[in-house]
Amino acid sequence: MNTLLKQCSILLFAGSMIHIAACTKAKFDDDYSKGAPPPIAGGYTNSRQIATADLVAYWAFDGSYVDSVGGLTGANKGTTFAAKGQKGGALQIGGSNYYVFDNPGAAIPAMTAFTVSFWMNAPRNKDYGYGIFSLNNPIDFWGSLDIYLDNGSGDDTAQFKVHFNNSNAVNTGQFLGAKVGNAWNKWVHMVVTYDATTTATTPNFVIYQNGSPIYSALIKDANGSIFGPVKFPSPTKMVIGTWQFQTDPSLTTGSGSQPWAGSYAGMLDEFRIYKRPLNALEVSALFKLEKQGR
């Protein structure tokens, strides 16, 4: 059911009579009527306005696999499009499908900090770890950046995990994650941010669910230093929908297919990558605007 915002001009007369002189309404969903929907916190009226200069890749999945910012394209391995996503269409993945990029471009591998934002709608992963996204590391088991739903989910809880490598740090690999409640068979907005310029008292890694932070950490290396600017170890390919080692052929010489791992099953929508961490206000605004179809 659509959510309606009613804006009415009300005139009061003597006594108790009330006369509604005018009333307009704006629908905040995928079919909202264009006109003048009010801005939300931050002054935004459309998701395109958020950190535009720092957006390095964006897939709306409205019938196209092309990244509308960087122009990245690749090879479809069985995915399709769903007519109704969270905002417009969506990418439909069947559990053994994925979309692989033979070239991740220049902007994504060069990021020293990042935000990855997307909507997911999936059944519970009972037997496998679902790979959602991987920027590969061609010689290691783990990718340069991996986002996945790990084994061990509950009836209503997903184990949302992130791994990324930083060749600038003493201990390069970081595994971080959070339990995502109310996760299955509905649209859930997930955002991961990493800040390369944090202070010693401020978290540099945050996971958000539906616009609110659910996990944060101050990542340090083995010497106790702040993890610092990321240097991804020579990524050459990228995949949406599975792990780097689960593609055919594998995107890394470090491993082939794993029996515990599987491709994501379900839908993904509004997949965005930024070269800096969005702040809490920007993440909240992005969630609200995309939820409203804007």
Q: What's the confidence (pLDDT) of residue 183? A: 94
> Which CATH code fits 55-291?
2.60.120.200
Nearest to 87 by CA among 32, 30, 132: 30
Residue 256: partners with Cβ closer than 8 Å, 6 or more residues away: 245, 250
Report how far apart, in Å, the C-alpha atoms of 8 and of each of 5, 23, 292 are: 10, 4, 21
CA–CA separation, 177 and 226 (whole Å): 19
Tell me if 251 sits within 8 A of 118, measured CB to CB.
no
Task: Output the furthest CA–CA distance in the chain (Å, rounded).
Answer: 82
pLDDT of residue 10: 35
The pLDDT averaged over each successive group of 10 residues in the chain (294 residues) is 37 39 39 62 90 96 95 95 95 93 96 97 91 96 96 90 90 88 96 89 93 93 86 95 96 92 95 97 95 92
Domain ranges of the chain: 1-38, 55-291
Residue 173 has what pLDDT? 85
